[in-house]
Amino acid sequence: MGRQLYEAAANGSIDFKAQLLALHRELVANVLELVTVLVDKPSLWARQVENVGAVLRNMQHLCNLLRPTQARQTLLHTLQEEVAARRAATQELRDKVAQAEAALSGGAEQLEAAAAELQRAAAAAARAAAT
């Protein structure tokens, strides 16, 4: 990576947002300085290009350090969506089961009523046949 232009805390942690913003500001200043050097002293361009490159390499290094965090957050988001979808599907299934149970219990009551009606009709027919 070359020289490290960003600051890390004593415990090794890095405030990525603050450091990337600082490097961005430094990059803008270095590009402006490069343009100025190209206009005023074109022979000194190499040093300024190296400065711009160093800032960009540091920014890229910080972005690469963020990749595991980004992957973890992406996985967490994907798993949360999957859990939500499964919960919704489970609730839909429970609703369908409740509807089926209601239909079956209503059907059982109708069958019991029809069976009672048939028994009454059979008893009436038996009485009519006996007389």
C-alpha to C-alpha distance for 87 and 79, rounded to whole angstroms: 12
Q: What average pLDDT does the segment 54-58 reach?
A: 97
Residue 69: pLDDT above 80?
A: yes
Residue 1: pLDDT above 80?
A: no
C-alpha to C-alpha distance for 131 and 128, rounded to whole angstroms: 5
**Structural domains of the chain, count:** 1
* pLDDT at 24 (0 to 100): 98
Identity of the amino acid at 129: A
CB atoms inside a 10 Å sphere around CB 61: 15
* pLDDT at 46 (0 to 100): 94
pLDDT tens string 83-124: 999 999 999 999 999 988 887 777 777 888 888 888 888 888
Burial class (CB in 10 A: 0-12, 13-18, 19+), 126: exposed
pTM recorded for the entire structure: 0.61
Domain of residue 25 covers: 16-130
Any domain includes 51? yes
Any domain includes 11? no
Any domain includes 106? yes
Stretch (H or E) spanning 55: helix 45-130
* pLDDT at 23 (0 to 100): 97
* pLDDT at 128 (0 to 100): 83
Any domain includes 6? no
C-alpha to C-alpha distance for 117 and 127, rounded to whole angstroms: 15
